[in-house]
Amino acid sequence: MLELENVEAYYGDSRVLQGVSLSVKDGEFVSILGRNGVGKTTLIRSILGLMDRVEGSIQLDGTDIKRFKTHDRALAGIGYVPQGRGILPKFTVRQNLMLGTFANPKSNRGNGARIAEWVFELFPILREFLDRRGGNLSGGQQQQLAIARTLLSEPKIILLDEPTEGIQPNIVEQIEQVLIDLNRKHGKTIVLIEQNIGFARRASQHFAIMDRGQVAARGPVQELTDQLVHRHLAV
């Protein structure tokens, strides 16, 4: 599904990623772990085409997308839920959700497109707040909105950057379960940037730990030992 080989990424002349190789299979749930500032978000930005310069190979379904514009990568099937959620605060919940249809090549891209009913089955609170401005939702509700908006693009792969950060525990549990169900029951391919080790262990099949712009460890989630966590993730 997603194949990165020897990827190096730059902010100006500063190299942030150093020879990162990563493979995500169709239907897999992979967690990318690491301390703050080790390159996790830069990795996501490289996949999305948001870096100043990227070297190496990035392939989606066998197609080299490194030269694709960001919007073309979205149309190719990459869905993204950013850190901080990225909802439009003055838009209503309905309007925020409609934006997701613009990246769905199967829809009318906003022109007469409809919000799929299954979105409200996943996140019932959104139906209740359809005409409420996004900025008036709680942090947890905004995160549900951000995930729902991304799902409406019907992506091949979903990239999430710390979706549980700063959210009340009961909503965290709901979001965790939705992501697990999307993967297990609906076969969605998910790449999760996360510092919540418990979540990563519960949800993932595989993990990769980043340190200083490189992949320091990887493997099946059963190999995410306390020793690895202490060595690479303890503050």
What secondary structure, in 3-state letters, does 126-144 show?
Answer: HHHCCCCEHHHCCHHHHHH
Mean pLDDT of 217-221: 95
CA 45 vs CA 50, 73, 189: distances in Å: 5, 12, 18
pLDDT at 171: 84
Whole-model pTM over 0.85 = yes
pLDDT-derived band at 40 (thresholds 50, 70, 90) equals very high
CB 97 within 8 A of CB 126: yes
pLDDT at 166: 80
In the numeric block, the tokens 């729902």 are attached to: 148
pLDDT at 235: 65
Parallel/antiparallel/unpaired status of strands 206-211 and 29-33:
parallel
One-letter-per-residue 3-state SS of 42-82: HHHHHHHCCCCEEEEEEEECCEECCCCCHHHHHHHCEEEEC
pLDDT tens for 176-212 read 999 999 999 999 999 999 888 999 999 999 999 999 9
CA 142 vs CA 30, 40, 95, 96: distances in Å: 23, 22, 13, 10
pLDDT at 234 over 60: yes
**Mean pLDDT score of the chain:** 91
pLDDT at 33 over 70: yes
- What are the tokens at 124? 């019932």
pLDDT at 113: 63
pLDDT-derived band at 23 (thresholds 50, 70, 90) equals very high
CB 1 within 8 A of CB 158: no
* Structural domains in the chain, sorted by start: 1-77+159-171+188-235 (3.40.50.300), 85-155 (no CATH)
**Could you give the CA distance from residue 24 to residue 32 in angstroms, rounded to a whole number?**
11
pLDDT at 109: 53
pLDDT at 24: 96
pLDDT-derived band at 60 (thresholds 50, 70, 90) equals very high
CA 94 vs CA 56, 118, 134, 152: distances in Å: 39, 14, 9, 12
In the numeric block, the tokens 């693009």 are attached to: 153
pLDDT at 110 over 60: no
